[in-house]
Structure formats: structure tokens, C-alpha cells
Chains A and B, each alone.
Chain A
Amino acid sequence: MSQLCVYLPPFSSDYSGVCSCLFDLNGMVIIHDASCCSRNYVSYDEPRWFGNKRPIFCSGLREIDAILGDDDKFINKVLAACESMKPEFIALLGSPVPMIIGTDLDGIAQEMEERTGLPVFGFNTTGFRYYNVGAAEAMLKLAAFYGQKSTQPIPSTINILGLTTLDFSDNSNAADIRNLFEENGFKVLGNYMVGCSLPDIQKSAQAEVNVVVTQSGMPLAAYMEKEWGIPYVAATPLGYSGSVTVLRTVKQVCADRKSQVIHAEGLHDGEVLILGEQLIANSLRNALANIYGVKGVTVGCLFGLDKALAQDFDIDIRDERQIRDLIASGHYRKLVADPLLEVLIKDRDIAFFSLPHVAVSSKLYWHRYRTFIGAEMETFIAQIAKTPEH
């Protein structure tokens, strides 16, 4: 299938997902690239970069090093920086060129770990995959390494998984979601990954329940369930009533210890198409169905479809032409998506509802983000439901 993209930008890639997750920790992160990948992250995928100086670096890879496979130069640069920066851990990230020349970042990490005595994580990111893949890998590696399981979970404690600025930007969303739970009797142990610390990650193994707020948190949720017996709830709290639903479900899962993906009843392929991050889109659909009875809502997953979260009519979006064809099919009368997707609508009778997503529109909208908890999102959901179809 064609991968031609005429109207939309490329979405955030895997290395940005890793960097975003590691931003708040006292580690040293190195993208093994020439400069473009690092600049993509710092200038276009990280709303917190301006005003915060974090040790996330570019290796300055050059052609001769790539041709000769000179990993020593890379290693020596990292070791020299490590000496100066005194990080708590090191993360080495790949990019397209290391992928092409077969750089073994896990192997280099292992060697560097022996030389520094620090934890060193290798991420074989490639720039060919989306941010959620990188974010998932980062959360998983950190939890698996630092998590300290105790025999009994701490009652009324949760972790929030998949909370990244690539999904929620750097407005109050992350704090709002945390506060929602803390104000309703839960203590948040691990806030994966906004405002997170290594001690938080250590404690997170003792949580009673995980709340997965984006698809990128699902691999970690599955890992924690299998390894540490922590069940999860998969849903993003949205608005008032959506938040209440999530809280109620978390309490239920605390009691029955059975993981739940929150789905409204009676959903079908209908007049509303939501294109975006799967779990946020799911949660928006749930709110439309539960509050307003709008049940004909299809989710188009821009960053890959996780079957565990999907309805059977949901769509795994592979390329821009597929989106154009879907919109032009005449099947959908309302489209909810990042504002850059509006240009794909040729039929004036399709109503568009803007839901900015950093991983799509980058800095163009990251400071014009919606707040997910409370009145603004409640109003937005009402607008989608109540706008008459043409």
C-alpha cells in the first residue's frame, strides 16, 4: 500500500516516545543520530523543552563512524559525558542510521553498564515506528528494572500508565488526572511518566490497581498483571461523567481483582469517526454513548490498533489515503481528530471537532490543548453529540 502522505505531517516516532518518558528522571539520554532525530524531539515533540534544561543529547553520528561501525567513538563520548553529568542511569536510543548499520544498542548498553557501574538501557528505536511503541518500551524497561514487588499490595493505591506529554501535552492534564484519583481516596504510586521519579517506579510494584490512560501503557499493564498480579483498568478519564465511570471501575477492580477495558454497551459502526490515540478515542466514544446515547462511533487508530482495546469495527489506519477514503466514503457525518486532519474533509456536510494531539500537530497546537478532566471536555463531548447531522 502506498505510504505517500500529501496533506499530513509524519507523526512522532519511537525515539521521541522514549525521550518523553525519560524526561523527568535523573538519567542521561542519548539519541544515536546525526542531529535531525534529536532536533525532531527537542523542537517538535517535547513541549517542556523550552525553559527546562534536561540531559538529553545527540551523539553527533557522522558518516565515517557509520561506515566503519566505530562504536568506540560513541561509547567514549557517552562515558565522558557521564563523568561530568553524574546521571542515575543512561539510556541509549537508536535512529534510522544505527538501524541500517545494525548497531547493537543493547550490547553497547551492557558493555557500558560494566564500565560505569550504572544501569544502562539500550533502546533499539529506529524512527520507522510511532511514539507509542517507544513510550511502551521505556515504561516497561524501567518498571522491570526498578520495580520492587512486595508480598501485599498497598490498599487504595494505583499507578497511572501511559501518561505522556505526547498525548496530554504539558498543560494541567497530567496533574488533573493524578488529582482526580488522589481527591477520590487513591494514592498514586507511579505516575508513568509525567512527574515520575525512580523511587516512584520502585514503589509502583506495590500498587493495588493500574489505570491505563493510553495505549502505550498496555504492555506495562500486561507485564505488571503477569509478574506482580496487579489488575488494570483501561480508560482515559474524560470530562465529569467519564471520570466518574473510571473511578467507579477502579474501585470495582480493587475489589474483584479482574482487569477491565471500559467499553460502553451497544456500540456500532456509525456516523461518528474518531481518529487518534486508541484509548483516548475509546474513552471519548464511551462518554458519547453513556451520556448522550450516541453509540454509532468508530475509532480509527492512527498509531496502531490494539485488539484488546478495540471493537470489531474499529479501524487500524495504515496511511493517509485510507483516511481520505474513509472520510470520503459518505459513511461518517462527524469527524473528531487533530486539527491538521480537517484538511482531508472535502464534503462540507461533515462536521469537524478539533482534538489536538502533540504526536500529530506538534508545537502548532500543543499549547492550545484541551483539558481532559472537567468542564471543557464535558462541553466538547456535548458539542459532538448535539451538533445536528447534515
Chain B
Amino acid sequence: MYNTTVFESTLHYFNPRRMHKRVHIPESHRLHVAPSACGRRFSIMAYRDNNKQNLSHLFISEDDVVSGCYEDLIPDAVEELLNTLATRPRVIMIDVTCIDDLLGTDHDALLSLLTHRFPDQKFTVCHINPIAMDGKLPPMVNIQNKNYGLLDRTGKKDNAVNLVGNIAPLVRECEILEILPGLGMRVRQIQDCQTFDEFLSMAESRLNLVVTPMAQIAAEQMLEALGIPFLFAPSSYKLAEIVQVYHDIAAVLGVDKPDLSGYLAQTREKIEKTRQHLANLPIVVDSSSTRMPFSLAKALLDYGFNVKMIFDAMILNCDMPDYEWFKKNRPDIMIADAQRFDLVKMNIQLQECLCIGFDSAYTLGAKHLVELPMDEFSYGFHAIDVLMTMMNEACETTVDYKAILKESENW
């Protein structure tokens, strides 16, 4: 299980938030095999990301389901797809949805059939099945597993560290891009790969740095299949944890610990200035901004910020220690289920607050918003630096919800 259910099981209400992007493997094409309804949001999102050319759909009908052999449609669809696309993809990623969990499709047999019919074509099948959201392999975990599962052992190793699991590319200003080269390592990430072959070279890296909890199983699989060790080091806003990550990297690589004193001093100063600037402004943290909102809230609390509320929907196991800490030590800080149905009529007058995350800001009608798309902006000390900058800016501005709406519709 990736998450622990602590909230009462109720109907869910969804705010009009943005969808999280999906990483695109270069020269890949996704074939979404499902009832037409299931693929709509992925398709519209792909248009928004200018990535629609890499996504197709195979609509299945009620008759296909009743006949119990909808997977038989896939090989012919693949042939038509390959004949239609201007450029042949290196890999076709077949996405199946919730209904596939109940139909018991034999994916190994399907892959075998496809590989036999299209011998030069690589395939993978991925479950996009929110019905298994509370299971061992929720969709975001499946996607990571399938993405990195495309890597094959090459027998070569080079001095590189993979970032595993990040959706957006790491910003160039992040100190990890200074520190790792200082240790003789370069950084690889999917987003930098221009070709499928370049992506495949991630199999040659010496270490995987797991920067999101969702990629832990993918890293475990890579350890087994490719022999790449990993460090589980999801984005953290706690200085001690960031320092520990760099020390662990050095230990795994067998090199001296990097000197982090400059980064630490600079970050501490930025935190303190921000704390003074925000004075006692109430702060709300939610899970639309970070996978581990309790960890972020605890960090902010330790830095002296006035944390008032935390919103989460499914608390990841790696965030549970901080959740437990809040429950035990700070019962005055409200913990809210970010999907509970009665959010629709939540009436808490906290407008004069700063929300880190769109969901809580929208729910509370907050005046100040820091909008982080799921930790995907930076890492390490630089992530804290960026967060502090955004908090400073947010407390000086009033959020323009109409502008956010408009931006969400731009493409």
C-alpha cells in the first residue's frame, strides 16, 4: 500500500484543479484502449501540452466487453495506427483502464501476440486504473513502473545519477546540478532525453535518486533488472533531510561528503527573511502542491511559520510520521480531507491566509496562493529557495482566480 486511509470513506468532491502531466518517453506513442469516456481528459490534456500527436485511442464498445475479447481488437488497431502515423514510434505504450482489472485480460499473452506480429516494435501495457487507487499499484505508480521498465541492461556503466519519478524537468538553477558534477557525476532525467536511445542510456547510470514516492517500486525493479542501486529521497523541505540526501549520495558513490555549508546558510537566511516578511500570516498546505503535505507543514512549522490547516486526500505512507506528529502534538492545526463531499459547503473564514496549493485556496477563497504543481519545480535547497520566493510574492498579491481559470484553458 502506498497510502493509509485515515479519513472517513465518503463521497468525493473535486475542485476544478489542473491535471498532472505525464512524462513523455521520446519516440513513444500511447494507445489508450478503453470506453470513449475514459480517455477524454487525457486527450484534452495532451492537446494542452502540445502532445496529442503522441496519443491515440482505441474505443471499445459494450459489445466488445460483453464478448469478453476486447483485447483481440488491439493488434489490428496497432497495424492501422502504424500505417497512419507519419513516423513509426520506437515503443507503443498500451494504456488500459479500470474495466480491464475486472475483465482479467492476459497482458502477457497480448504482448506476446503483438511482439510476434510486429517483431521490430517494442510494446508495454500500463494500467491507468484509479479503481485501484488504494491498492499496492495505483496508476501513478504503474506509470512509473512501466516507463522505467522499458530500460534494458546494456552491460555498461557510466558516471551518472538518474532522477527517477519527476514529472517536470528539474530547473537548471537547482544546486544538485552543481553538487553532483562536483562528485564526478552527471544528472540524467527522462525530460532531457531527445531520443529513445538516449532514454535507454539511463540504464547505464550508477545510481537512481527517487525524487517522488510514486517511483519507489520502479527503482526497486531497476535494482533487480539493471543492478542500479537507489536512494529513496522524495522532495523534502526539511534542511536536515536535504543534507542527509547529499551525504547518502556521497556514501553510495564512495566519495567525500560535499560541502553544503554555503547552501545551508543561504537557505536559512532566506527562510528567516520570509518568516519575518509573512509575520504571523496563517498558512494552509495541501496535497495539490506536494505529495507530502504533512512533511512540508512540519518543516514550515519548525521554521516558525504560522501553519493553520493541512488538506490531504490520501496520505502517503512516507508522510504518515509527520501526520502522526501533528495529530499528537498540534491538535489545534486542522487536518481536512481534501476530497470530502462537504468541501462544497465548507465555511471557514480564512481568506486572510496563504495557501500552498490551489485546492485549499479555492476551497477557502483564500487571498494569497502559492501554486506548486506537485513538487515539480525544483529539489533540495533550491526548492526551499523557490518556495520562499513564491511565498513572499504571494503575500504581496491577491490571487486572481479568473486569471487561473483562463490560464487553465490556454493552449
Chain A residues with CB under 8 Å of chain B are: 2-7, 9-16, 30, 34-40, 42-45, 49-51, 53-55, 57-63, 66-67, 73, 77-78, 80-81, 84-85, 95-97, 99-101, 126-128, 130, 319, 321, 340, 361-364, 366-367
Contacts and interface: CB of A to CB of B under 8 A. Distances in A.
A91 to B, nearest CB: 13
B109 interface: no
7 contacts: A6-B81, A9-B39, A39-B19, A50-B405, A59-B11, A128-B60, A362-B40
A40 B11 contact: no
A54 B13 CA distance: 9
Contacts of A42: 14, 16
A35 B40 contact: no
A58 B103 CA distance: 22
Interface of B: 9-14, 16-17, 19, 34-41, 43-44, 47-48, 52, 56-62, 65, 73, 76-77, 80-81, 84-85, 97-99, 101-103, 128-135, 339, 341-342, 344-345, 401, 405-406, 408-409, 411
A259 to B, nearest CB: 32
A60 B133 CA distance: 9
Contact of B11 (A5, A12, A77): A77
Given A6-B56, A57-B11, A13 B40 contact: yes
A100 B12 contact: no
A96 B38 CA distance: 8
Given A2-B77, A6-B84, A62 B38 contact: no
A78 B9 CA distance: 11
B133 A53 contact: no
Of listed A36, A42, A85, A340, residue having the most chain B CB within 10 A: A36
Contacts of A73: 9
Please give me the 7 A-B residue pairs with the lowest Cβ-Cβ distance, nearest first: A127-B37, A13-B37, A9-B43, A34-B130, A3-B59, A57-B11, A10-B36
Given A3-B61, A126-B62, A80 B44 contact: no
B131 A66 contact: yes
A44 B43 CA distance: 10
Given A4-B57, A40-B37, A97-B102, A35 B409 contact: no
Nearest to B46: A9
A81 B48 contact: no
B97 A55 contact: no
B131 A11 contact: no
B10 A12 contact: no
Contacts of A321: 80
Contacts, number: 196
Nearest to A130: B36
B408 A99 contact: no
B48 A364 contact: yes
Of listed A2, A39, A50, A61, residue having the most chain B CB within 10 A: A50
Contacts of B344: 53-55, 85
A44 B140 CA distance: 20
Contacts of A78: 11
B94 to A, nearest CB: 13
B341 A10 contact: no
B13 A57 contact: yes
B51 to A, nearest CB: 13
A62 B133 CA distance: 7
Nearest to B59: A3
A100 B36 contact: no
A5 B12 contact: no
B409 A363 contact: yes
A43 B62 CA distance: 25
A58 B338 CA distance: 13
Given A34-B133, A59-B11, A99 B44 contact: no
Nearest to A59: B11
A44 B12 contact: no
Contact of B102 (A10, A49, A85, A101): A101
A30 B341 CA distance: 10
B362 to A, nearest CB: 9
B314 to A, nearest CB: 10
A62 B44 contact: no
Of listed B47, B59, B77, B98, residue having the most chain A CB within 10 A: B98
A332 B39 CA distance: 30
B12 A58 contact: yes
A149 to B, nearest CB: 35
A10 B43 contact: yes
A364 B12 contact: no
Given A3-B60, A364-B47, A61 B131 contact: yes
A100 B339 CA distance: 26
Given A84-B342, A101-B102, A58 B11 contact: yes
Contacts of B85: 6
